[in-house]
Amino acid sequence: MNFEILDKKNIWHPFTPLEGALEPLFVESAQGVYLNLKDGRRIIDVVSSWWVNIHGHSNLFIAEAIANQAKKLEHVIFAGFTHEPAIRLSENLLSILPKNQSKIFFSDNGSTAVEVALKMAIQFWHNQGIKNKKKIIAIEGAYHGDTFGSMSVGERSAFTTAFSPYLFEVEFIDFPADQNKEKIIRDFERKLQTSEIGIFIYEPLVQGAAGMRMYPPEILDQMISAAQHYGVICIADEVFTGFGRTGKLFASDHLKTQPDIIAVSKGITGGFLPLGVTSCSQKIIDAFKSAETSKTFFHGHSYTANPLACAAANASFELLMRNECRGNIQRISESHLQFVSKIKSHKAIKNSRALGTILAIELQADGGTSYFSEIRKKIYPFFLERNILLRPLGNVIYVLPPYVITNDELEIVYISIEEFLDQLAEK
C-alpha cells in the first residue's frame, strides 16, 4: 500500500488547504518528546501535539491503564448507567479544581466542553424564568473552539467568515493589559450595569490561539469580582491552561476569585484520548435541581464519559500529582523565564513572555499574529529542518513541551530559536 498517495486521495486534514499544502509528515511511532518519522527522522514535539500531551508520547503507565480498562469495560451508555473510571475521575478532578466546583459533566473535547458550559449558563437563567440576561461578554481575540456556539463566543476572523451570518451575537471587551486596565474595568462595569449580561466567558491569563497573549491575574480578578457582583455567570475556559500548563494546576489557581463554570479538555488524558469536562458550582446545580423535565439539562454525546478516556485521565492524574511531574513543571517554568531574560532585548523580538511551561516570542516581523502572515511560512520549515516541531501562530513562536522534556532538549530548542532570531536580525 502506498500510504502517502492514499492519504492525499482519501483524507481531508484540519486547517489545511486542499491544494498547495506541504505533504503531511508520516509518523510511525512516538516516545517521550520525540516523533519518529517513517523517513527515519526524530522530531522534538515542543507543541505537545496541539497542546494536549503532558507526560510524553506513548507513556507506558497511561497505555497500560487504557489496555486494562479496554479488557474490562470499553464503553457503556452514560444515561441511567455509571462506572468506576468516571466516578474515580470525578473525585480526582474535584480534589484539584477550585474549591467551589461541585459537579462534573462529561463530553468529548474542548469545543463541546465549552458548548456545555454555555448551555448550562443559558439554561441557568431560563430555569429561573429570568428573561433579560440574554447577553454574553467575551474577550477580544478569544478562541473557544470550532463548533457554532464556541465559535460565536470567539474572535471573528478569516476562520469564521464563512459562518458569520450563523453566529450569535456576543459583546467583546478589549484585551486586558496593564496599560488599559482602568478603561477595561470601566467599560466592563458599564456593560454589566445594563443588567442584560448573563454570562462572561474568558481564557484565564493566556489566550492561546490568539498568539499566547498573556494578561495579569489582578485585572481578571477585578473583572470576575465585578461580574459576580452583578450575578453574571463566569465561565473559565481552561481547555488549554488546565493540568499544569501555566505552572499551577489550573490558571484559575493564580486568581483570588473562582469561576462558576470551568471547561477543561486537552491535557486531561495526558494527550491519549479525546475527553472534555465541564464542572460547575453548587449555584448552577441549584437552578437545575428539580424532577421537572423542563429543568433537566438535555445534552449528551454518544461517547460521554467513555471508560477508556476516563481510565487514561485517571492515570494521567496520578502522574501529574507526583513530585517528579510537579518538579518538571517548575524546572521548565524557570528555564523559560531565564531564556526570556536572555533574549528579551534581541533586535528581532517585539515581545517575549513566559508563564509556567508556556514560552512565547513575538517577532518584529510584519503581518502581526495573523495565521496568514508571511513569516509563518519561514518559521515552520526552519525548525523542521533542525528536527523541531514548532507551529507558529502568525509571527509568534511558542514552545510548550510535554513536561518530560529534559534541560538538554530544551537547550537544543532555545539554541535553534536564537539562531533563527539572529538570521532574522541580519536581514
Complex with ligand PLP: residue 105 or 240, whichever CB lies closer: 240
User: How far apart (Å, rounded) are the C-alpha atoms in residues 98 and 248?
Assistant: 12
| Virtual torsion, Cα 19, 377, 206, 45, nearest 10 deg | 90
* Residues in CB range of 255: below 8 A, 6 or more apart: 204, 217, 220, 221, 224
User: How far apart (Å, rounded) are the C-alpha atoms in residues 278 and 115?
Assistant: 9
User: Of 85, 145, 204, 356, which lies in the binding site for ligand PLP, with binding defined by CB under 6 A?
Assistant: 145
Nearest partner of 273 among 69, 136, 134, judged by Cα = 69
Q: Using the rule CB under 6 A, is 155 a contact of ligand PLP?
A: no
User: How far apart (Å, rounded) are the C-alpha atoms in residues 373 and 395?
Assistant: 7
Complex with ligand PLP: residue 57 or 144, whichever CB lies closer: 144
Q: Using the rule CB under 6 A, is 200 a contact of ligand PLP?
A: no
User: Of 237, 277, 312, 375, which lies in the binding site for ligand PLP, with binding defined by CB under 6 A?
Assistant: 237
The window from 237-245, 297-305, 335-343, 383-391 that contacts ligand PLP (CB under 6 A) reads: 237-245
The window from 17-25, 142-150, 354-362, 393-401 that contacts ligand PLP (CB under 6 A) reads: 142-150
For the segment 83-112, give every residue that binds ligand PLP (CB under 6 A). Answer: 109-111
Q: Read off the DSSP letter of residue 206.
A: E
SS3 311: helix
Is the Cα dihedral 143, 144, 146, 151 positive or negative? negative
The window from 159-167, 232-240, 298-306, 419-427 that contacts ligand PLP (CB under 6 A) reads: 232-240
Q: Using the rule CB under 6 A, is 144 a contact of ligand PLP?
A: yes
Shortest separation between residue 238's beta carbon and ligand PLP, angstroms: 8
Q: Using the rule CB under 6 A, is 259 a contact of ligand PLP?
A: no
User: How far apart (Å, rounded) are the C-alpha atoms in residues 22 and 246?
Assistant: 32
Q: Using the rule CB under 6 A, is 48 a contact of ligand PLP?
A: no
Nearest partner of 96 among 238, 307, 201, judged by Cα = 238
- Amino acid in the structure at residue 265: S
User: How far apart (Å, rounded) are the C-alpha atoms in residues 306 and 76?
Assistant: 7
The window from 127-135, 202-210, 361-369, 389-397 that contacts ligand PLP (CB under 6 A) reads: 202-210
Give the E-state strand segments of 312-403 in sequence order: 349-355, 358-363, 388-389, 396-399
Shortest separation between residue 51's beta carbon and ligand PLP, angstroms: 6
User: Of 208, 242, 307, 392, which lies in the binding site for ligand PLP, with binding defined by CB under 6 A?
Assistant: 208
User: How far apart (Å, rounded) are the C-alpha atoms in residues 126 and 124?
Assistant: 6
Q: Using the rule CB under 6 A, is 239 a contact of ligand PLP?
A: yes
Binding flags for ligand PLP, 3-32, as an x/- string (CB under 6 A): ------------------------------
φ, ψ dihedrals at 152, nearest 5°: -60, -35
User: How far apart (Å, rounded) are the C-alpha atoms in residues 185 and 172?
Assistant: 13
Complex with ligand PLP: residue 93 or 114, whichever CB lies closer: 114
For the segment 325-364, give every residue that binds ligand PLP (CB under 6 A). Answer: none
Q: Output the CA angle 139-142-147, nearest 5 degrees.
A: 125
User: Of 93, 114, 220, 393, which lies in the binding site for ligand PLP, with binding defined by CB under 6 A?
Assistant: 114
Q: Using the rule CB under 6 A, is 382 a contact of ligand PLP?
A: no
User: How far apart (Å, rounded) are the C-alpha atoms in residues 91 and 40?
Assistant: 43
Shortest separation between residue 235's beta carbon and ligand PLP, angstroms: 11
The window from 79-87, 126-134, 138-146, 283-291 that contacts ligand PLP (CB under 6 A) reads: 138-146
Complex with ligand PLP: residue 109 or 333, whichever CB lies closer: 109
Q: Read off the DSSP letter of residue 308.
A: H
Shortest separation between residue 5's beta carbon and ligand PLP, angstroms: 29
Q: Read off the DSSP letter of residue 293.
A: G
Shortest separation between residue 393's beta carbon and ligand PLP, angstroms: 11
| All cell numbers assigned to 88 | 474515580
Shortest separation between residue 218's beta carbon and ligand PLP, angstroms: 21
Residues making contact with ligand PLP (CB under 6 A): 109-111, 114, 143-146, 203, 208-209, 237, 239-240, 265
